[in-house]
Amino acid sequence: MIGLGIDLCEVKRFERLQENELFLQRVFSADEIAYCKKRTQSAQSFAARFAAKEAFGKALGIGISGGVTLREVEVKHDEMNKPFLELSGETKNIAAKFGVTKIHVSLTHEKDMAAAVVILE
65-94 pLDDT, tens digit each: 778 899 999 999 999 999 999 999 999 999
Distance CA 105, CA 118 (A): 5
Q: Is the dihedral of CA 59, 60, 63, 64 positive or negative?
A: negative
- pLDDT band (50, 70, 90) for residue 64: confident
Domain 3-120, second-level architecture:
Alpha-Beta Complex (3.90)
Q: Would you kindly state where each structural domain of the chain is located, as residue ranges?
A: 3-120
Average pLDDT, the chain: 94
Q: Tell me the sheet residues that pair with 115.
A: 8, 108
User: Tens digits of per-residue pLDDT, 21-32?
Assistant: 999 999 999 999
pLDDT at 63: 79
